[in-house]
Chains A and B, each alone.
Chain A
Amino acid sequence: MKLGYYPGCALHGSSNDYEQSLKACLGALGVELEELDDWICCGASAAHSLNHTLDVALPARNLALARRQGHAEILAPCPMCSMQLLKAAKAAAGDVELRAAVETIIEAPVDAGAGVLNLIQVFEKSGLDQIKSAVKRPLKELKVACYYGCLLLRPPAVTAFDDAEEPRTMEAVVAAAGASPVDWNYRTECCGAGMTMANPETVLELSNRILENARAHGANCLAVACPMCHVNLDMKQAAIEQRYGVRYGLPVYYLSDLVGMALGLPEAGLGTQRHFVAGPVSAKEA
């Protein structure tokens, strides 16, 4: 399977461990990623709150690039990116004037029917049964709290993926990797996301609740499919522990880490040693 790949800023910057992980993992599954040539910002963070036309034009240009470069479907591993891309396609499809304005700006037709996939969907596409049969090292020791966060599922009218309130897909992938997903309560709660810059206290409080609940329900690690979630739960974990006087030591894996490890890939190749909280698997290997 060959997919267009839209990394977005995070996977080329602060979360390049995520890129390393998913490239290694998907490579082992035979998914070929071709990075879009000349991709630009998806419009998240600043643009979408300042200028509605720009909010649509930026992602629309990326979709147009994908179409021009012959990709019917692209992987956008960051949920903010995938939501922005899907939102732009939907907005342009439903508003003739906006569509015309955007097409003038990007000098290309808007691709209203663009296929934008998140990481979970790529695993689903390559087949959970196939993953199951390719597992070399079932992650029996891992009790995983699957954490979806916000934008992977919301707004449901845009993402049209899984049940926004009672999702199941990440658990299915984790189970295919031989790990045990735990039943817990904070799967779709907010981690604080972008507040990490403006109001770090809020992030500490919200992310603390997530970690606390995951541990209370017997998890020994978390799985995420979002660079922002990873930053707040992994990088900030030490700060959370300090702030609340607790000790979690809960490793936070990208979903591709778990699948990759189950497929028998070395952790160094997946980049998990670059996470801030070391995992039980890494510890054992070391």
Chain B
Amino acid sequence: MARIGVFLCWCGENIARTVDVAQAAEASRGIPGVRCAEHYKYMCSDPGQALIREKIVSERLDAAVVASCSPHMHLKTFRRAVAGAGLNPYRIEIANIREHCSWVHHDKTAATAKAIDLIRMAVAKVRYDHALEPIRVPVTRRALVIGGGVAGIQAALDIADAGYEVVLVERDPSIGGKMAGLSETFPTLDCSQCILTPRMVEAGQHPRIRLHTYSEVEDVQGFIGNFEVTIRKKARYVDMTKCTGCGECMKVCPLKRTPSEFDFCMGTRPAIYMPFPQAVPARPVVDKNVCAKIIRNGCGLCEKKCAPGAINWQDRDELIKEQAGAIVVATGYKLYDIGREQKSAGITGYGEYGYGKYKDVIDALQFERLVSASGPTNGEIKRPSDGAAPQSVVFIACVGSRDNAKGMAYCSKICCMYTAKHTMLYKHKVHSGQAHVFYMDIRAGGKGYDEFVRRAIEQDGAKYYRGRVSKITQEDGKLIVRGADTLAGTPVTVAADMVVLASAMRPADGVEELARKLNVGYDENGFLLESHPKLRPVETNSAGVFICGACHAPKDIPESVAQASAAASKVAVTFAASELTREPEIAKIDEQMCAACYTCVRTCPYHAVERAEVRSPKGALVKYTARVNQGLCMGCGTCVAVCPSKSADLEGFSEEQIYAAVEALS
């Protein structure tokens, strides 16, 4: 005979106002198997927990039902409480009489009856609970960081400084990401490269960081503590061990007119190139789509010039494997592709702004290269069409942001700030120039941010118009920007020499594909989903995979860095234990019953069910079966639902328990 204790919580007035707890306790005592039923004002408090422990001992209880708030809130609290009295923590059930009852009802009589029903169901379920032990898995104490922008670098350095090994994978030839190309940063106007490049060098030289640049994550297998990652190292055609980074090859390459990705096509580069002089690693790569040697076996000048003989035309993509215990995703962002990117075909998404049609209409990252001291114009503001210093520049905020019709619904968050910065940098370099800004709202929340925008307007004289631009056309060499000033209630026309579009931030290309490899969720815009927006901001629903930076949502440098450090600390926490424990409420397969149809293998969203063999003690094959990988299973129950032979079941949520609970209602 079961000896079950029922513990009802008043939750102050939250429950007691609507549910007659004394009456519910009395009714609970009549449920078969219930040994005692107590109620208390705050069951989660110290005295409340002490009451539970005391009753477990005095009544020799073997299971307990706590009728209180949602298990999301306090299941762990009560598990610890009963464990303190020697009861297996998986032998308690929560009857949620707050969110499921008192908060959503008014009629006290009916609510009390419902609370009793919920308790009866929980009692029926708890009867079939049995003692479970947390699952223990070993940990590989090496982290994989995907993306070598400022967030990835920060995460890698923090993890490495905590004493763990890091594998840092970057798609481009150098780490540094978008920040390496920025001019100066808001709100302090300190030089972006000056603060980033030392960190890049640190990451490149750190004894515990292994760098794979020009590489991409091809495949991820395994689970928290035990990931196996396949990385594609793209062919560089340069032997990293021989190359000294002297740069002679780049000087002799005749194909110097190739648009530079790093300069967002504002400048050019040779076919063999380093994206920028401070690149880490400071080793060039050959662009196989441009190089004359690779395309038609011509040229080869770089090879002749290379003293150490580092050019290797036989280089091919290489797949390597790395083991990791945790993964940090920091893949960053790209800008909305103005005039080309759109939700539905037929709409070009701001084609009316003439981006791509008028040379002097550029986007914000292109402007960054134009004002950067290391940029293609050495920081002189020369407009692309004729190299003249623009005397009038229009900056348009929210291009593609906050626009359901042809862009994204969300706010890109950083454009207000960098647009203010752009107007200042422009004014500081072209003293006679006038900056005009069209904006929807100024969103300058942050330390020193609003002051910064005020400075742009009040000290550096940027003209701000609250309104949208309807069209940009070209007349007599001027860009005619027609918009509205909604505060003045008038149309505004500005004849500009250059236009800068603050286009929306979007997740980097390929992030959705990567997310699927990692079993990480993403939203309709492709931004990766955190596990809980407030309490688990850098965790994902895939155990052991963490996110930071702009792959999660538009964010600025300070936020990305803070989040990267948060992700790093989560990795350090994961690595602190010698082995990991996981909740044991996962699926199990009755291997004798299993018909090995593998429907579950195909359906499991976490790839946690594997094909396996049952063998006799002598090693002979008895039968095939499905088997749950305890490290991967998230306990969602999909396999239980699809199993035709009913061989799959969920610990702590068995079909037996669910049926018992439903029957208790009738």
Contacts and interface: CB of A to CB of B under 8 A. Distances in A.
Interface stretch (A55-63, A161-169, A195-203): A161-169
Contact of B475 (A162, A166, A216): A216
Nearest to A183: B357
A156 interface: yes
Contacts of B350: 165
Contacts of B339: 166
B346 interface: yes
B361 to A, nearest CB: 13
Contacts of A161: 346
B351 A165 contact: yes
Contacts of B346: 160-163
Interface string A87-115: 00000000000000000000000000000
A20 B352 CA distance: 34
Contacts of A157: 405
A14 interface: no
A129 B281 CA distance: 53
A216 B474 CA distance: 11
Contacts of A166: 339, 348, 351-352
A85 B348 CA distance: 25
Contacts of A162: 346
B546 to A, nearest CB: 41
Nearest to B345: A163
A185 B473 contact: yes
A176 to B, nearest CB: 19
A163 B475 contact: no
Nearest to B472: A185
A161 B346 CA distance: 7
A194 B473 CA distance: 26
Contact of A163 (B348, B471, B473): B348
Interface string B335-351: 00001000000111011
Contacts of B471: 165, 185
Contacts of B474: 185
Interface in A149-180: 156-157, 160-166
A88 to B, nearest CB: 22
Contacts of A216: 475
A213 B350 CA distance: 21
A164 B473 contact: no
B407 to A, nearest CB: 13
Interface residues of B, number: 13
Interface string B463-497: 00000000101110000100000000000000000
Contacts of A185: 471, 473-475, 480
A212 to B, nearest CB: 10
B357 to A, nearest CB: 9
A83 to B, nearest CB: 16
Contacts of A165: 348, 350-352, 471
Interface string A45-89: 000000000000000000000000000000000000000000000
Contacts, number: 26
B404 to A, nearest CB: 11
Instruction: Specify which of A156, A162, A166 lies most central, judged by the most chain B CB atoms within 10 Å of its CB.
Output: A166
A188 B445 CA distance: 38
B354 to A, nearest CB: 9
Interface in B229-280: none
A124 to B, nearest CB: 12
B343 to A, nearest CB: 12
A159 B348 CA distance: 16
A240 B348 CA distance: 34
Contacts of A164: 347
A162 B348 CA distance: 9
B297 to A, nearest CB: 40
Interface in A114-173: 156-157, 160-166
A156 B474 CA distance: 25
Contacts of A160: 346
A285 to B, nearest CB: 35
A160 B347 CA distance: 9
Contacts of A156: 347, 405
A165 B482 CA distance: 13
A164 B342 CA distance: 13
Contacts of B405: 156-157
A126 B475 CA distance: 37
A165 B475 CA distance: 18
Nearest to A216: B475
Contacts of B480: 185
Nearest to A189: B471
Nearest to B344: A160
Instruction: Specify which of A157, A161, A164 lies most central, judged by the most chain B CB atoms within 10 Å of its CB.
Output: A164
Contacts of B347: 156, 163-164
A166 B480 CA distance: 16
A160 B351 CA distance: 16
Contacts of B351: 163, 165-166
B495 to A, nearest CB: 13
A72 to B, nearest CB: 22
A163 B475 CA distance: 22
Contacts of A163: 346-348, 351
A271 to B, nearest CB: 32
A165 B474 CA distance: 15
A120 to B, nearest CB: 13
B632 to A, nearest CB: 45
A145 to B, nearest CB: 13
A160 B350 CA distance: 16
B385 to A, nearest CB: 16
Nearest to B354: A166
Interface in B179-196: none
B245 to A, nearest CB: 45
A249 B478 CA distance: 27
A157 B406 CA distance: 11
A83 B474 CA distance: 31
A162 B475 CA distance: 25
Interface in B346-372: 346-348, 350-352
A151 B645 CA distance: 61
Interface in A5-44: none
Given A164-B347, A166-B352, A185-B480, 8 more contacts: A156-B347, A160-B346, A163-B348, A165-B348, A165-B471, A166-B339, A166-B351, A185-B473
Query: Which 7 A-B pairs rank lowest in CB-CB distance, beginning with the nearest?
Result: A166-B351, A185-B473, A165-B352, A163-B348, A166-B348, A163-B347, A165-B351
11 contacts: A156-B405, A161-B346, A163-B346, A163-B351, A165-B348, A165-B351, A166-B339, A185-B471, A185-B475, A185-B480, A216-B475
